[in-house]
Amino acid sequence: MAVFADYRGLPASARGASIALGNFDGLHAGHRAVMEAARLAGHGKFSVATFEPPPRAYFRPGDPPFRIFRPERRNAAILASGAATVFELPFNGEMASMTDEGFVRTVLVDGLGVTHISVGFDFRFGRGRMGHAQRLSSLGRALGFGVTVVEEVEGQGAKASSTAIRQALMAGEPELAAEMLGGPWVADGVVESGERNGRKLGFPTANFQLGELIHPKHGVYAVRAKIEGEANWRPGVANFGRTPTTGLRDPLLETHIFDFTGDLYGRKLDVQMIAYLRPERRFDSLELMVEQMHKDAARARAILATPG
């Protein structure tokens, strides 16, 4: 994977690119338009520069989890779209203190050796967000590289934005998030060993915490899951939450894969959130909970069997 974790000390082959610059945390229609502008300016060749960690994580470390994709998934998707390279620009105290001109000279010109930059219309950069797209265009003219500013892209009747995607997921609207993302949102993680309560109840689950990924609305979902090493997506039903019936604990994604037997502990699992079925709730008995689980599974099967 052609990923560089810095803008300094790059090989000559990685410098001099047409670059799409931004956070690219959702890879929604707006992000894809910025990448397409970089591709056109680079006559079919382009790279992507993003920030790691995201500036929000640096400035507001106490915020709830907000990442739409883990960096590895984001980078893989960017490269799969045709980008030659991903530059993860280290966002730290040094970069946060750069002026807008200092960022352009130090990072873009001296570091990446850019020939062209494409950004979204609302891109901000430099200390205190002092720089904007028009300022970048002015600096580009002065320092010898081109700039394309991509205007607002509409998606689902509104601005295509990572904020809108997060809001949809937290509202229990994975279908809306999928429309903006261009495909289902995927939660991924390594399956953890647990108390095996699901197995005792006839619904064995593969469990993992979401960590830095955004936490969707607690409740039950129709899902598709892909096991590490497999190519196909398997239908299933999942609960994300604190399982108030069997004991409150930190939020966990528990995925029951239909018609699957086997040990998944320690293996990576990708889970597509397809449809929200119901909120998480406390049951008066395990029998009532199992009865509802059967209903949830039947509803999930019906949804997942419907084309489109």
Per-residue model confidence as pLDDT tens digits over 102-130: 999 999 999 999 999 999 999 999 999 99
Whether residues 121 and 36 share a domain: the answer is yes
Whether residues 24 and 152 share a domain: the answer is yes
Please compute the mean of the pLDDT values over residues 221-241 and round it to a whole number.
97
Instruction: Give long-range contacts, CB 8 A cutoff, 24+ apart: 167-176.
Output: 169/214, 169/216, 169/217, 169/273, 170/214, 170/215, 170/216, 170/217, 171/217, 172/216, 172/217, 172/219, 172/276, 172/279, 173/276, 174/216, 174/221, 174/273, 174/274, 174/275, 174/276, 175/274, 175/275
Indicate if the pLDDT at residue 174 is higher than 80: yes
Task: Give the list of residues 6+ apart from residue 169 with CB closer than 8 angstroms, or none.
Answer: 177, 185, 214, 216, 217, 273
- 266-to-28, 188, 189 alpha-carbon distances in Å: 31, 13, 9
**Between residues 244 and 5, the one the model is more confident about:** 5
Residue closest to 162 by CA, chosen among 300, 288, 34, 280? 34
pLDDT score at 153: 78
Tell me the torsion sign for CA atoms 301, 302, 307, 308: negative
pLDDT score at 26: 86
Confidence of residue 158 (pLDDT cuts 50, 70, 90): low
Q: What CATH number did the domain enclosing 16 receive? A: 3.40.50.620
pLDDT score at 201: 74
Whether residues 106 and 15 share a domain: the answer is yes
Element (DSSP H or E) covering residue 234 = strand 234-241
Classify residue 144: in a domain, yes or no. yes
Whether residues 204 and 127 share a domain: the answer is no
Number of domains making up the chain: 2
Task: State how far the Cα of 147 lies from the Cα of 126, in Å rounded to an integer.
Answer: 17
Classify residue 172: in a domain, yes or no. no
Classify residue 173: in a domain, yes or no. no
pTM of the full structure: 0.91
By percentage, how much of the chain surpasses pLDDT 70? 93
pLDDT score at 155: 55
Classify residue 55: in a domain, yes or no. yes
Beta bridge partners of 146: 116
Please compute the mean of the pLDDT values over residues 139-148 and round it to a whole number.
98
Mean pLDDT of the chain: 92
Residue 223 and residue 237 in contact, taking contact as beta carbons nearer than 8 Å: yes
Q: Read off the pLDDT of residues 10-67 as tens digits, 9 standing for 90 and up.
A: 999 999 999 999 999 988 989 999 999 999 999 999 999 999 999 999 999 999 999 9
Residue 47 and residue 22 in contact, taking contact as beta carbons nearer than 8 Å: no
Boundary of a domain, candidates 106, 141, 158: 158
Indicate if the pLDDT at residue 179 is higher than 70: yes
Boundary of a domain, candidates 142, 158, 174: 158
Query: Of 228, 254, 280, 291, which residue is the catalytic one?
Result: 254
By percentage, how much of the chain surpasses pLDDT 90? 82
Indicate if the pLDDT at residue 209 is higher than 80: yes
Whether residues 69 and 33 share a domain: the answer is yes
Structure tokens at 212: 């830095």
Q: What CATH number did the domain enclosing 191 receive? A: 2.40.30.30
Classify residue 176: in a domain, yes or no. no
Whether residues 16 and 141 share a domain: the answer is yes
Domain holding 288, by residue range, is 184-305
Whether residues 24 and 146 share a domain: the answer is yes
Whether residues 7 and 151 share a domain: the answer is yes
pLDDT score at 161: 87
pLDDT score at 280: 92
Whether residues 189 and 264 share a domain: the answer is yes
- Whether 254 is a known active-site residue: answer yes
Indicate if the pLDDT at residue 284 is higher than 90: no
Whether residues 128 and 208 share a domain: the answer is no
Whether residues 202 and 291 share a domain: the answer is yes
pLDDT score at 196: 63
Residue closest to 185 by CA, chosen among 237, 224, 159, 211? 224
Whether residues 206 and 93 share a domain: the answer is no
Classify residue 259: in a domain, yes or no. yes
Indicate if the pLDDT at residue 154 is higher than 90: no
